[in-house]
Amino acid sequence: MARLPVLSAALLATLVALPARAEDQPPRKPTGDVPILHEEHAAAGLIQTYDGPWEFFVGGGVAAFDCDQDMKPEALVAGGKNPLKLFLNRSIVGGPLAFEETSLGLDEKDLVNVLGAYPLDIDNDGFTDVALVKLGRNLLLKGGPGCSFAVADKTWSFDGGRAWSTAFAATWEKGERYPTLAFGNYVDRAQPGSPWGTCHDNDLYRPVAGDRPRYAERQALTPGYCALSLLFTDWNRSGEPSLRVTNDRQYYRGGEEQLWKVPAGKPPALYDRGDGWQRLTIWGMGISQFDLNVDGAPEYALSSMGDTKIQMLDEEAAEDTPIYKDIAFERGATAHRPYTGSDLRPSTGWHTEFADFNNDAAIDLFIAKGNVEAMPDFANFDPSNLLLGRFDGSFAEAGAEAGIATGTKGRGAAVVDFNLDGMLDLLQVNRGGPATLFRNLGVASGARHGPMGNFLGIRLVQKDANVWGVGSRIAVKTGTRTMPRDVLVGGGHASGHLGWTHVGLGTAERAEIRVQWPDGEWSHPYRVFANQYVLIERGQAAAKYWYPSD
């Protein structure tokens, strides 16, 4: 994220330089359906604006999760200087989106200065809790019945600190009943010379042994390089997630992207040159992972100013070394400047998320876009990207045709199926303007909209600890094709969701699901039919289907 200075001309040249004259190539066209995304935040009653002074140029997150046990995701939307708002999902299945704002029952001071929010069940009680990423003391909200929430920092011995926090991730380390929490921090404004080169350390909180969550011990992840997204990720299929950190080069000095080893019971340690880690400096804003080549090792989409990176392990590198190559250009996913309009200046990317918007079984990539505020060297009209996956593995832009090419300043987002019609909707938080809410209507078919490919919604359940199976890998197989999904808490930009894992199936009417649970154990195959919501309880012989009440 860049805010204060104007970038040098040389830097700009670097930003827009591409390996080939992309403008000479006709743009790739989507091969599958283009979903029509209908903006209806006002009609839906979801009114929230993320705003505030420069501390809120970053952030702008949303947590999407169910808190009233109807399995439809609610939306908890950060407001920056404005209060955090919780919107209960009142949408009818397949119908227009509808939300009802409800009180969180928290003190006003707790509701403001929120940059981001991530849902997770910290205490394994079946009620989703929330980690609030704040300017100042971070909060852990303990969820209860009927969408009730209480600040649990004291209860869980959690000191939220005083940093300017911007990112969050969580994982259940081997043998642990409660999650390890990581908070990413931005500029340390109290340091002399701030904001240049004064990035705050990041924080790691491991649970202290006991019968309730206790996070009394903070471990500093030093050095910090102004993190804007964190993600626990099993990059090398070792069974032990590492912590990926994307950092904003605008403020660090001598910094880079980071990958932390987080060995169970031992202090975290950075991957360094000796491990093969290579220096990469970007304006890192958001991380999303997806195993594009289904080899077990995820690829990463890293949003930035200018071009988006998609990192894939370099197959020519030594095994088990974190050496990546950037495949964004060859896949047509650099998304480096606006795809519509006359503004040719570089884009500013924020939330990234792999998801299948058109249910064609080819994964898509959403990137929220928006100028930091009024940066003159970056596009002012900077529409978010809907990069639809093509059947040859590349991506093609469909944001304009889909209807998301608006003039907002996008930040965080939630790509979830709010009305449980099997098609992913989109809630995008915007700086300085109302959050936008897009209902996926399906494919345009004459004057109407029709259904797209088949889908599955999958929910994993473990007993006692890590009830959502965070860290699991889901492999959905149809014919010779495997569609992987990871259940993770973290990444994106200040935003997360917990609920149905959505999988597009294309033309397959049935599928086999296997789950690699967080401890590495693979399940047997579960045979399910398409267009179902499927519950897989660990150890159970058969899956269950779930149906909405309307």
Partner 1 sequence: MNRLPVLLAAAMAAIAPAAASEEPWAETTIGQHLVLEEIAREGEAAIDALILKGETLFRAKFTTLDGAGRPMATQAIVPTRRKRPIAETFSRTHGPDANACVACHNDPVAGAAGDFVANVFVSEGFESADFDSLDPQFSNERNSNILQGSGLVELLAREMTADLQTIRAAALKEARASGKAVTRDLSSKGVPFGSITASPDGMVDITRLDGVDTDLVVRPFSQKGVFTSLRQFTINALNVHHGIQATERFGARWTGTPDFDEDGHVDEVSDGDISALVAWQATLPVPTRRTDLPDVWKAAAARGEALFAETGCASCHRPALPLESLKFTDPGPFDAAGTLKLADVEQPIVIDFVRFAWVKALPRDEQGRVLVPLFGDLKRHQIADQRNERLGNELMAQRFVARDVFMTAELWGIGSSAPYGHRGDITTLDEVIRAHAGEATDVRKAYETLPEADRKAIIAFLKTLVIEETE
Binding pattern for the stretch 338-377 against partner 1, x by CB under 8 A and - elsewhere: ---------------------xx-----------------
- Report the C-alpha gap between 322 and 308 in whole angstroms: 19
Binding span for partner 1 by CB under 8 A among 19-27, 98-106, 108-116, 386-394 = 386-394
Residue 71 in contact with partner 1, rule: CB under 8 A: yes
Residue 28 in contact with partner 1, rule: CB under 8 A: no
Q: Which two tokens stand for residue 350?
A: 């924020």
- Report the C-alpha gap between 410 and 286 in whole angstroms: 12
Residue 91 in contact with partner 1, rule: CB under 8 A: no
Of residues 77, 79, 51, 83, the one with CA closest to residue 65: 77
Binding span for partner 1 by CB under 8 A among 408-416, 468-476, 492-500, 531-539 = 531-539
Query: Please, what is the end-to-end C-alpha distance for the chain in angstroms?
Result: 44
Q: Which of residues 147-186 bind partner 1 (CB under 8 A)?
A: none
Binding pattern for the stretch 465-504 against partner 1, x by CB under 8 A and - elsewhere: -------------xxxx-----------------------
- Report the C-alpha gap between 69 and 502 in whole angstroms: 18
How many CA within 13 A on the CB side of residue 199?
Answer: 29
Considering only 452, 475, 476, 489, the residue that binds partner 1 (CB under 8 A) is 452
Of residues 229, 290, 238, the one with CA closest to residue 258: 229
Residue 328 in contact with partner 1, rule: CB under 8 A: no
Residue 128 in contact with partner 1, rule: CB under 8 A: no
Considering only 5, 263, 450, 539, the residue that binds partner 1 (CB under 8 A) is 450
Residue 126 in contact with partner 1, rule: CB under 8 A: no
Q: Which two tokens stand for residue 487?
A: 């259940």
Between 60 and 457, whose beta carbon lies closer to partner 1? 457
Residue 69 in contact with partner 1, rule: CB under 8 A: yes
Binding span for partner 1 by CB under 8 A among 224-232, 239-247, 248-256, 385-393 = 385-393
The C-alpha torsion from 117 through 123 and 126 to 131, rounded to 10°, is 0
- Report the C-alpha gap between 2 and 431 in whole angstroms: 15
Residue 541 in contact with partner 1, rule: CB under 8 A: yes
Between 318 and 541, whose beta carbon lies closer to partner 1? 541
Considering only 264, 392, 407, 522, the residue that binds partner 1 (CB under 8 A) is 392
Q: CA-based angle 451:452:456, to the nearest 5?
A: 105
Residue 26 in contact with partner 1, rule: CB under 8 A: no
The SS3 assignment for 545 reads strand
Alpha-helical regions (H) of 423-477: none
- Report the C-alpha gap between 43 and 535 in whole angstroms: 32
CB of 460 vs partner 1, minimal distance in Å: 14
Of residues 369, 366, 310, the one with CA closest to residue 338: 369
Residues that bind partner 1 (CB under 8 A): 31-33, 69, 71, 359-360, 390-392, 445-446, 448, 450-454, 478-481, 505-510, 527-532, 535, 541-549
